[in-house]
Amino acid sequence: MDVKFNMVQKTKHFFEEIGDLSFFAARFFKQAVNPPFEFKELLRQCYQVGNRSLLLVMTTGFIIGLVLTLQTRPTLIEFGAVSWMPNMVGISIVREVGPVITALICSGKIASGFGAELGSMKVTEQIDAMEVSGTNPFKYLVVTRILAATLMLPLLVIFGDLIALYGSSLVEFFKGNVSFRLYFNKVFEALSFGDLIPATIKSFFFGFVIGLTGCYKGYKTGRGTAGVGIAANTAVVMASLLLFVVDFVAVFVSDIFYEL
């Protein structure tokens, strides 16, 4: 009986959360298109999101490229298809691995950052203070952050992709004696706009999801410093989860377009 009740509560809570998040997203769109626009703050946030995540994204990208190539090499050698390495790694990184890994890393850094920052601002009444000061805190804090994440993530993904390919080409250079020029030639031979464009569009959505959940969790933080921790934590969990949902939908949709 109690378990059943608990389940019902949880389900209710789940849909409540989704509804809440949707309202939050709708509010974002409404506020984002109406002036005034906080350009200066947007730039600051872009810097925070973009430049400050670059090193992290590049490090993980490099390692992913390295590992992906090292792990695939024996199998490809077995099939006598090791010369296909650049094509395979190139497509998998540009299409899927690059955007998803970058987005996951960023959800760890950016979403939690947003959650904690906005959460502490909420708890210490800084958000109220802003509103009293005649600045729409939603515009100033939320819209700029979501926009910054949405705009910066595709760029981060591109950097991540490049570094991952570089890592992969290093392995091929030292283990397979493949020159960088040949490697990248093959990569770009394998790639088409059908790989790059959906991945880039996907990255925008990833950025949006990261920004949205981070801000949502931060903005709705409950009272007390404990609420800030919870906000940061749940922001990461929710963002990561939503990323995969978005990824699934994106792959599904782009697949349909491929068919056309």
Partner 1 sequence: MKEAMASEEIVIKIENLCKRFGNNEVLKGFNMVLKKGENLVVMGKSGSGKSVMIKCLVGLIGPDSGIIEVLGKEIDQLDQMELDELRSDIGFLFQGSALYDSMTVRENLEFPMRRHRKKFEGTTDTLPLVREALENVGLAHTMDLMPAELSGGMKRRVALARAIILKPKLILYDEPTSGLDPITAKEIIELMRSIQKKYGTSALIITHDVDCARVISERMILLVEGVNYAEGTYEELIRSQDPKVNAFFKK
Partner 2 sequence: MANKTSIQNMKLGLFVVLGTLLVLVASYLIGNRQNMFVQNFSVNAVFKNVNGLQVGNNVRFSGINIGTVDKIDMLNDTTIVVQMKVEKKMREHIRKNAIATIGSDGLVGSMLVNIVPGVGEAVSVEDGDRLESYSRISSQNMLNTLSVTNENAALLTSDLLRVTQSLTEGKGTLGKLLNDTKMADDLEQTIINLKYSSEKVSQTLDDLQILMKGAQSDQTITGMLLSDSISAQKLKNILINLDSSSIEINRTAQNLNQWVGEIKNGQGALQLVTQDTVLANQLMRTMQNIEEGTEKFNENMEALKHNFLTRGYFRKLEKEQKKANEN
Picked from partner 2, partner 1, none, the partner binding residue 155 (CB below 5 to 8 A depending on kind) is partner 2
Picked from partner 1, partner 2, none, the partner binding residue 188 (CB below 5 to 8 A depending on kind) is partner 2
Of 10, 15, 16, 128, the residue at the interface with partner 1 (CB under 8 A) is: 128
Of 97, 121, 151, 228, the residue at the interface with partner 1 (CB under 8 A) is: 121
Under the criterion CB under 8 A, does residue 129 sit at the interface with partner 1?
Answer: yes
Distance CA 104, CA 237 (A): 10
Under the criterion CB under 8 A, does residue 133 sit at the interface with partner 1?
Answer: yes
Under the criterion CB under 8 A, does residue 129 sit at the interface with partner 2?
Answer: no
Helical H segments across the chain, by residue range: 2-33, 39-46, 52-78, 85-92, 98-106, 112-123, 126-132, 137, 144-176, 180-190, 193-219, 225-259
Distance CA 151, CA 42 (A): 10
Under the criterion CB under 8 A, does residue 225 sit at the interface with partner 1?
Answer: no
DSSP state, 124?
Answer: T
Record the tokens describing residue 196, joined without a space: 């790059």
Under the criterion CB under 8 A, does residue 255 sit at the interface with partner 1?
Answer: no
Sign of the Cα torsion 197, 157, 169, 66 reads negative
Distance CA 178, CA 183 (A): 6
Under the criterion CB under 8 A, does residue 178 sit at the interface with partner 2?
Answer: no
Under the criterion CB under 8 A, does residue 35 sit at the interface with partner 1?
Answer: no
Binding residues for partner 2, rule: CB under 8 A, are 43-44, 46-47, 50-51, 54, 154-156, 158-159, 162, 188-189, 191-193, 196, 200
